[in-house]
Structure 1
Amino acid sequence: MASISFRNVTRRFGNTIAVNNVSFDIADNEFFCFFGPPLSGKSTILKMILGLEMPDSGEILIGGKPVNALSPAERNVAMVFQNLALFPHMTAEQNVRFPLVERKVPEDKIRARVAAVSEKLHIGHLLHKPPAQLSGGERQRVAIARALVRDPAAYLMDDPISALDARLREETRVELKRIQRELGHTLVYVTHDQEEAMSIADRMAIMENGHIRQTGKPSEIYDHPESQYVARLLGSPAINLLALNNGSAGAGTIDLGGLAVPAGASGIGIRPEDLKAEPWTSGKAGTPAKVFEVEPLGGYTVVTLTAGEEKLRALMRGHPDIRVDTDVALSCDPRRIHFFKPDGLALAPVQSGQ
């Protein structure tokens, strides 16, 4: 078990800066997730923690001790790669026990560790099979078991369940969270799936072009994004972003109801779940809009609306009685509006009476 820290770490590949002056601290026994689009630097950070990549500058610490000069074996961290990297000529059991065999762990301890990990991951009945005879989800669990069978300082996982189908991903991420909690080890996880990142992480870091744009608990980042980039990256459907013009959004698309706009604000963001659309009636409060499309998705419905020249999306519970080409009234809770400066960074709203 160990904490992990980066101090002003930079990694270049030729003229490309993959990780740019990054600093962060991951606490002991924390489930920490790096989230961002492809080529944002997530996997390079994992490889530097493991020791497969060396930083051009800066310091990496594991358990409070610098490890820049240590080999991957000396760092004592276990990694699950995106392609799983199982040995095809070995059975599942041989794959799981391989790290312990290489370290010349006594046979009785190997059997005990393999049995314990196999029980946790429900793969005991699969141990006699080679990887070719396993499903994608079964191979995934074997790869995770091979990492868990060790007793490393930390576990690293590079987008390990992206190849699984949606239902199996849901089941596996629940298992990962449970296992990490039971083992009490630090787990560093990389993914480009926002739902995955928000559901499993204790804390997460949002990556863009080698930079960390925001770090915090998933719910805190979602409710208080520090930039338009972060606001857009989290949330499905994506946040509605509109330009401000004399205190109104999108040249009057949505009336902000007298809400005080902070100085320097040039745009607003409204989460689809915070945007209300109700059938239009004479005298109805709200901004008039027209329903462009309705997408029923079971427990909720996504409604695309046109207001002025803008298209907005609202997320509504159940099956609202709203049809295409009908008129609706748009409204939102002013306290749920996000304000942004011209450079895309967030501004705090001005409170009433100030």
Structure 2
Amino acid sequence: MSSKEDFVESYRKIYTKLKKKSILRKPNYAECSEEINDLVNSLKRQSKSQPYIGFCLKAVARCEEALKNLTLEAVAFSDAGFSFWQREMERSEYGYLSFGEDFSEAVDCYHLAISVYKRLNKPAISAALYFEMAGFCKELGKNEEARDYFHTAAELQQENSGLCAINSLEKSVECNILLRDYGNTCSDLIWMMKLASEISTDTPTNTLVVSESGSLIVTPVRTSGIFQEIITKNARSVYTMVMMEAKVSLILVLILQGDFQQSRDFVSKLERDATANGVTTNTFRLIIELFETLIEQVERQDVEMVMAVQRELHPWMTRQQNTLVLMIIEELNASLRLASVANK
């Protein structure tokens, strides 16, 4: 195939075969599927971003649907979706104008693949596709869609893989923070804590988890932070650390919401849980005092003191937690500016 005209002619011949229907004879879907796949391979050799690849793979999926080959149908739909994602990501990377056609096609194909995998009772693969879709959306700056897909992935994963569900929820939390949707951020963090507390496991903290679909799931283990010593002192569970890290983030989000009483309650719970898990160092005691001071100074709207506490806490917190503290300072400054304008 040397040109667009060659492709169109080849596809037209296959399409003609598919259109030849009669009462007694159906099209040879298997032959057409094979020929379209050959066409796809030819296109891929020319360029991975060929605009026709996704549509050809959708045609393959429809042939497999007619043949009732559910697995091949799902694979073809997911491959078609991935092709459309590649084109949309390429547009975004190079700053090309996008009217969203490839994005819509990609989402549609992934949803079709997911519906087939659900019929095949393959929740892990369905969840993996939701997770992948969410990742693409996040890269494209579509944080609301990404949040919803990460959340759906977690719902599918929670029955069979709590660690994967926690990983998806962490991503959902990231999106909610970017959206400044603090209510849903709290809900996701509480769900993470619930999952972590329910799971009993002796999984080593450095274990890599592979999903049913074969994809590698990165465990949400912190290599540094307030609870690093839980890994070494109490290797009982990565989930214990996840639960406490989520609790720290929840405290900060509650401060952002102005819910100082609940944030104080969770600081007390954090201290009790940490003590129960062997974290009793003077450093940790100091960190608890810093959180108590942070709440008090935010309530007093003392920006200078809050910034001083932020500098002390910074080395002990994750990047996401440090972002939340900076958002607290930003909100506090905005509130003070509004008050200043109102008083003039």
Higher relative contact order (CA 8 A, sep 6+): 1
> What TM-score, normalized by structure 1, do the two folds share?
0.28
- Rg bigger for which structure? 2
Bigger proportion of residues as helix: 2
